[in-house]
Amino acid sequence: MNIIINNQDFILHQSGAVFWEKKKMLLISDVHLGKVTHFRKHGIGIPKDAIFENFNRLKTVFELFDSETVVFLGDLFHSKINTEWGLFVNWIKENPQKIILVEGNHDIIDKQNYAKLNIEIYNELEIDNFLLTHHPIEKEGFFNFCGHIHPAIKLKGLARQFLVLPCFFLKPNQLIFPAFGEFTGNSYLTPSENDKVYAITKEGIIEVAIN
């Protein structure tokens, strides 16, 4: 789905990624690489093949958009280095794009490891009148792109059934990204009359009417 923010064109993709057309920049939040291995190490029954799902999703969006720069809005890697780090290193070497990480609360890996891969790291990043962060922030004069919350919307059916969908949550001066990674969980947000919700389905993205 195409949306316009501050006279700039952005494409929302059902993976949870956003493509900034003018900048040829791909924005992704909360991948949480290494989380599957972390869970399996602690005895949580997740299939081993799930390790590769995040990399497959990354490959899909990288092939779909002609990006020159990729900005991860925090929580790129879930915790300490584990066996998935090697997969990440190989994946980085296969892609020519400039990679930037805006640090999140889970990004605890020593910065030297990212420096060896030519990945730039920032606490926050200002590009024109846009502010890129991990945690939602309000800053006068800026529109904020952020993650962290893993937003989702709960839709009610006529027969009291519920449907939970991850979503892009658009506020007047902020866009909260859904989690890109698998097994990340969701937080249910209640929109106000000035908000817009773009829910992610298997078929694509739909704008949810706010009553």
Where do the domains of the chain lie?
2-208
Among 42-56, 72-86, 121-135, the range scoring the smallest mean pLDDT is 42-56
The closest of 140, 210, 211 to 174, measured between CA atoms, is: 140
Q: What is the pLDDT of residue 4?
A: 97
pLDDT, residue 204, reads 92
Question: Of 14-18, 49-53, 76-80, which gets the smallest average pLDDT?
Answer: 49-53
pLDDT value, residue 188: 86
Which SS3 state, helix, strand or coil, does residue 114 take? Answer: helix
Task: Give yes or no for a contact between 84 and 92, defined as CB atoms under 8 angstroms apart.
Answer: no
β-pair partners for 120: 100
3-state secondary structure (DSSP) of residue 101: strand
pLDDT given for residue 183 in this prediction: 63
User: What is the rounded average pLDDT of the residues 175-181?
Assistant: 94
pLDDT digits (tens, 9 = 90+) for 67-86: 999 999 999 986 777 778 88
> At 111, which amino acid appears?
K
Binned at pLDDT 50, 70 and 90, residue 42 comes out as very low
The pLDDT confidence band at residue 157, using thresholds 50, 70 and 90, is: low
| Residue the block writes with tokens 């919700």 | 197
Write phi, then psi, for 146 (nearest 5 degrees). -155, 175
Element (H, E) at 62: helix 53-64
Residue appearing with tokens 């890697």? 77
Alpha-carbon distance of 155 to 74, in angstroms, equals 28
Q: What is the CATH number of domain 2-208?
A: 3.60.21
Q: Kindly list the distances between the CA atom of residue 142 and the CA atoms of 34, 131, 167, 172, in Å, as whole numbers in the listed order.
A: 33, 6, 22, 11
